[in-house]
Chain A
Amino acid sequence: DQQVKQNSPSLSVQEGRISILNCDYTNSMFDYFLWYKKYPAEGPTLLISISSIKDKNEDGRFTVFLNKSAKHLSLHIVPSQPGDSAVYFCAASAHNDMRFGAGTRLTVKP
């Protein structure tokens, strides 16, 4: 039952360039979407979120885009920094039932 999918297990980008992480979902009832960032041996921490009534939310270097018709969201990080290297989980929620993707490991090379 994979309602949230992150098809790229890993991504490597050069420092200063843009990182684009993608996420697809199948449940049209999801109304709130989140990106969590996870460092090794730590719990996930909320990075940015977006409600289904919006198509874009920006917070500094991080922007989340939501395309409801395609059931797709993406996280853009620009410019990427080495400290952004982590695993990024996409999550989607309906009625407080949250589902997570399998994660994408981002590596930002100096």
Chain B
Amino acid sequence: EAGVAQSPRYKIIEKRQSVAFWCNPISGHATLYWYQQILGQGPKLLIQFQNNGVVDDSQLPKDRFSAERLKGVDSTLKIQPAKLEDSAVYLCASSAQGVMDSPLHFGNGTRLTVT
């Protein structure tokens, strides 16, 4: 099966600019996750979708981050405006059901550098 696709692979922007990331999950996977991984830390969940509904966005900085999953398939994550501390790898993951039934499959991530 094709894996989770993410684009772009790398992005460099200046602070206060906007940026968007795209994710295409594994076909048929109902659950989609966006994680932020800062250098030297483990992935931190930003938002979880079940189909096109939000399950958990408690750790999403909603003043600058937004995400959507139209039609329950592809998803975009946007940062506006970006701050220096947003420099990280943004990982998208998908699963068929919950974690125990179908573990997360991760994409290769988008490395964001904010200067």
Contact = CB atoms under 8 A, between A and B. Distances in A.
Contact of B103 (A49, A97, A102): A49
Interface string B66-97: 00000000000000000000000001010000
A11 interface: no
B104 A42 contact: no
A97 B107 contact: no
Given A93-B99, A96-B98, A96-B99, A42 B108 contact: yes
B21 interface: no
B4 interface: yes
Given A41-B108, A49-B103, A102 B56 contact: no
Interface residues of B, number: 23
A43 B45 contact: no
Given A41-B108, A43-B106, A45-B106, A32 B42 contact: no
A34 to B, nearest CB: 6
Nearest to B9: A41
B108 A89 contact: no
Contacts of B44: 100
Contact of A43 (B31, B93, B99, B100): B93
Contacts of A97: 45, 56
Contact of B43 (A9, A46, A51, A89): A89
Nearest to B3: A43
Interface of B: 4, 31, 40-45, 48, 55-56, 91, 93, 98-100, 103-109
Interface of A: 4, 6, 9, 31-32, 34, 36, 41-46, 49, 51, 89, 91, 93, 96-103
